[in-house]
Homo-oligomer: A and B are copies of this chain.
């Protein structure tokens, strides 16, 4: 059943040696040839033989990806993208589910199963810098997501403040003046949402407005139910909001459900913006405007960084940790501009 190097070479119109060079990321292959081989690899579904590689290099060919929740489509999308990116490097992915618990995140980050994995990509929620400073340098670790740590590890995350400001600017441009933020953490000291909340605050101030603290809705988590509970509370305020910027799409979708139940018109009475651009947002009765992080770029950059560290010569000093900012965009849909305008 398997596709061989030879099959790829025939499809790409190059030698087996060239395919091998591309697959193993050796230099001295032109970008055009590299691209042709990559395309043939994709089309044929070729996976480099992990066993052979492992025997040759003494490496397992496995990298771990630890995410807080697979039930959030954002992380399912991200996991799928990481699996794809890893396959390009001949690696397979061991998926870890931390449930966003500090103990689990610390266990994973500290090299649990380090006999098995070549490296780890971790998207932490409650991990603290002290947990990271305790960990050994190997296997290499790449961090994803909004939490910023003063720790010497590569970190790949979009500019969350700028992305949040983009979303709030869109709402202000639509004439909204009472913009709620849904999805602040109750424990404000350890606030994964603090960058997006900061962006909300900064943009309102920049527009000459006043960020109203009664419109900041704290939630226990970031799920649909959290958004529904918070939206109910906001609608019961003496002066309800005329717009909602939600920490993520799931929270926004929970808010949209409550707005539909209460017969509140979206976007006429309340406009809603989410964050993550999960596919579900494109299919509701009212489709959801959302900040779209470039998930494919996040996954590719994370795997590239990790593989570079895995394959670095052990006798050279390690490269300095990098902070990489993949792109983001605002995807405008019906929840802010309505159906007619959207078409």
Contact = CB atoms under 8 A, between A and B. Distances in A.
Copies in the assembly, this chain: 2
Interface string A95-115: 111000101101100101101
B260 A103 contact: no
Contacts of A286: 285
A324 interface: no
Nearest to A256: B285
Contact of A284 (B3, B45, B257): B257
B257 A106 contact: no
Given A2-B107, A79-B70, A83-B97, A60 B116 contact: yes
Contact of A113 (B50, B80, B110, B261): B50
A1 B128 CA distance: 12
B47 A1 contact: no
A259 to B, nearest CB: 9
A159 interface: no
A115 B51 contact: yes
A121 to B, nearest CB: 14
Contacts of A257: 283-285, 287
Contacts of A101: 45
Nearest to A104: B45
Given A116-B60, A260-B285, A280-B280, A96 B92 contact: yes
Nearest to A50: B113
A77 interface: yes
Contacts of A50: 112-113
Contacts of A253: 280, 283
A303 to B, nearest CB: 14
A73 interface: yes
Contacts of A285: 256-257, 260, 284-286
A113 B113 CA distance: 17
Interface in A69-87: 69-71, 73, 76-77, 79-80, 83
Contacts of A115: 51, 54
A95 B63 CA distance: 11
13 contacts: A1-B103, A45-B103, A47-B107, A70-B83, A71-B77, A71-B80, A116-B116, A224-B280, A256-B283, A256-B285, A257-B287, A285-B285, A285-B286
State the 4 A-B residue pairs at the shortest beta-carbon distance, nearest first.
Answer: A285-B285, A95-B95, A260-B285, A1-B106
